Amino acid sequence: MMVDPDETEPFRVEAAESVFQVVDASGGVVLTCADEANAGQYAALLTQAYRMGYKAGYRKGRSSWKT
């Protein structure tokens, strides 16, 4: 089954030793929180910023090169 990149979350929360880490798509730890709720909120904010900024700008730039 092929996964649409628009359907995946670029940031996710993973439990580590007594902390919760916000991890990017490549597996890098962006930040660490003491509780899961805060980590989830940061992951959601980072995902929203990614979709509204970087990804939207990339699509706009890519579509401007199409002829």
| Residue 21 to residues 1, 8, 40, 48, Cα–Cα distance (Å) | 28, 18, 9, 18
Give the pLDDT confidence score for residue 7 in this predicted structure.
58
Give a yes or no: residue 4 inside a domain.
Answer: no
Q: How many domains does the chain have?
A: 1
What are the phi and psi torsion angles at 45 (to 5°)?
-65, -40
pLDDT tens digits along 10-36 = 999 999 999 999 999 999 999 999 999
For residues 49 and 63, the model is more confident at: 49
Q: Which structure tokens are listed for 18?
A: 């007594």
| β-strand partners of 11 | 24
Asked if the structure places residue 66 within a domain, the reply is no
pTM over the 0.75 mark: no
What pLDDT does 66 receive?
61
Range of the domain at 16: 10-59
